Structure formats: structure tokens, C-alpha cells
Amino acid sequence: MPHESSLATVVLATRNPGKLAEFERLLAGAGWTLLPMPADLPPAPEDGDTYAANAEAKARAAALASGLPALADDSGIEVDALGGFPGIRSARWTDGDPPADLLLRAAALPPERRSARMRAAIALAWPDGRCVVAEGSVEGGLAAAPRGSTGFGYDVIFELPDGRTMAEVGDAEKDRIAHRGRAMRALLAALRETAG
């Protein structure tokens, strides 16, 4: 398996500008050039039953279609009192505004029953079929209402143990403590270990 420094150009299997910016920060200094997924590449189906399965499927599809190594992630929020809902369906369970709709669904939950976590899996695949997957998570809870102006997705309603939402922390702190940052560090560590 190549060391991460041997990767020059990598396709990021997303068209989400927030994710592209976050991945560029997470990989600053790694020597990788990240390319957004070309518009003519169809998105891979996200029908796996785990974050890892979805991330791997997206990375493999993008690597095969582009002929370049490809990174992909799958992530979600899991609310304990809702049985882990929405989980791997976090991006696809509603046609409305997912954070607002999740707060509506959880509106009757008292503060002590609003525990939640954000989880992410990141996969790096090569056109020849090799693939490395790593995961990360962060514990917290659902805020009573959206707060903050940074980040994207569920960041405005995911409350950290100190009471701030993920959208109220700066980029550098978010990259250090959040699920996607933890998954990326685990992926880079796995690449170093296999190259070792």
C-alpha cells in the first residue's frame, strides 16, 4: 500500500463544497491535490448498511470512473433516544431540511435524553481495487435549536459536551475534535502503518 505522501492527485467523491473545504483543511500538508468529483461521474448508490460500506462503495466507484485514487466519506448523526436514528440515512431520510426536521422529531425529548453522536467513515480506493477504510466519532447531544454559523449539515444542532454546537467552534478546533477529522487521522495512520 503506498505511503500517503506518494499520493499526488486524489478525487474527492463529493460535490458538497463544505466537505471539499473540510477535506482540504484535513489534508493540508499531506502533499495531496484534491479534485472535486467531475460532474459527469454518476454518484455511487449509498445502499450499504454501514457508514464504512457506503464510503467504500463511493470511493471505489470514483476511483474506477476517474482512473485516480479516490476519497469518499459517509457520515451521520445518531440520537440514542430515537434508536440511533437517522444514522446512515442522515442525508436522505427527509426531503426537507434534515437538521430542522430532526429537531422536530426529537422535540419531546427532555435534555437528559438528547444524547447523540456524529460518526464518519472515510475510504481511500485505488483504480486497481485496493481500499483502506477508517472511522471516527464524537459524542454529544442534540441542541434545543440551531446555533452557529460555521460548518454544514447537522453541525448547527449537534451540541458538544461543553454546550457549544459544532457550528460554534472554529475550523481548526472542529478538525481536531470532530468525527471526520478523527476518521481522517485514523486513515492516514493506517496508510503509514501499511507503508511502514
Our answer to whether residue 49 is catalytic in this structure is no
Strands (E), 21-167: 33-36, 70-79, 85-86, 115-125, 131-142, 158-159
Note the helical H segments in the chain: 17-26, 51-66, 98-105, 171-177, 179-195
* pLDDT interval class at 50 (50, 70, 90): very high
Instruction: Count how many Cα atoms sit within 13 Å of the Cα of residue 147 in the half-sphere of its side chain.
Output: 13
Residue type, 24: E
Mean local confidence (pLDDT), 110-129: 96
- pTM, whole model, 2 decimals? 0.91
Task: Provide the pLDDT for residue 4.
Answer: 45
Mean local confidence (pLDDT), 103-124: 97
Residue range 174-183, pLDDT digits in tens: 999 999 999 9
CA angle, 40 as apex, 72 and 93 as ends, to 5°? 50
Judged against a pLDDT cut of 70, whether residue 149 lies above it is answered with yes
Q: Active-site residue among 74, 162, 171, 175?
A: 74
How far is CA 67 from each of CA 129, 137, 159, 191, rounded to the nearest angstrom? 11, 30, 40, 20
Judged against a pLDDT cut of 50, whether residue 1 lies above it is answered with no
Domains of the chain: 4-195 (3.90.950.10)
Residue range 123-147, pLDDT digits in tens: 999 999 999 999 999 999 999 999 9
Task: Provide the pLDDT for residue 46.
Answer: 81
